[in-house]
Amino acid sequence: MLKEGTTVLPGDKVAISEELQPGEGTYERNGEIIASIVGRFRVDRQRMLAIVEPLAKSPLLLKTGDTAICEVKQLSEAMVIVKILHIAGKKRQIAGEKDAAIHISNISNEFVDDIRKKFKIGDIIRAKIIRVEPAIQLSTKGREYGVIRAYCTNCRNPLIRKNKLLECPSCGRIEERKVADDYGEGNLDRVI
Ligand SMILES: [Zn+2]
């Protein structure tokens, strides 16, 4: 099983079912216990449960320049709406739900004609906070920013990087995203 206290993303394997049963924030699939949320891995030894605790704990002021880890919630023609889950390198976490937006012009240094080719709902991304008031605005311009974990549109398995595209190890589907240079490595606390 994983080391306790490790920060995990949805789809990460935390243990096998011979070791632990799935508890809060996890589920079982093919004999493996998988994280279903972003959080810290814990073991309930009395009940032998694998648990992923949500990161959100106490209030934290967001600042321009902070590196935010977010989940994509909504896509429109010109905007991506995300929920901020974590600020890289900060022990204290943001309280409650914090929504933010990425305008199409702030996605990439290259021209973006279709937002849906760059992000999909459920993706976990790394973005820079470029404005806090009146609404939180983010940017994913630059190679360090973009999707760090994406899920297959067919079967929800985490996609694996293959050259410039992403591939589903389960069903073979190929998808495109605006990925960060360390896609798939789970570096939630990398500060740019
Ligand atoms: Zn798939």
Q: What is the CA(190)–ligand 1 centre distance, in A?
A: 28
- The distance from CA 79 to its chain's CA centroid, rounded to whole angstroms, is 18
Q: What is the CA(88)–ligand 1 centre distance, in A?
A: 29
Whether residues 50 and 74 fall in one domain: no
Whether residues 45 and 11 fall in one domain: yes
Angular region, 48: left φ>0, alpha ψ -120 to 50, beta rest? left
Which CATH number belongs to the domain containing residue 16 in this structure? 2.40.50.100
**pLDDT at residue 94 above 70?**
no
The structure tokens listed for 11 are 């789809």
Whether residues 111 and 152 fall in one domain: yes
Q: What is the CA(11)–ligand 1 centre distance, in A?
A: 12
**Who contacts 7 (Cβ-Cβ below 8 Å, separation ≥6)?**
38, 39, 40, 41, 55, 86, 186, 188, 189
d(CA 183, CA 164): 11
Domains contained in the chain, number: 2
Q: What is the CA(159)–ligand 1 centre distance, in A?
A: 8
Whether residues 12 and 93 fall in one domain: no
Whether residues 111 and 149 fall in one domain: yes
Percent of the chain with pLDDT over 90: 74
Q: What is the CA(9)–ligand 1 centre distance, in A?
A: 17
Higher pLDDT, 66 or 59: 66
Nearest residue to 140 (alpha-carbon basis) of 113, 103, 174, 165: 103
Q: What is the CA(174)–ligand 1 centre distance, in A?
A: 9
Nearest residue to 70 (alpha-carbon basis) of 133, 145, 150, 127: 127
Does residue 180 sit within a domain? no
- For the entire predicted model, the pTM comes to 0.79
Q: What is the CA(120)–ligand 1 centre distance, in A?
A: 14
Structural domain for 36, as ranges = 7-54
**pLDDT at residue 59 above 70?**
no
Per-residue pLDDT band at 182 (split at 50, 70, 90): very high
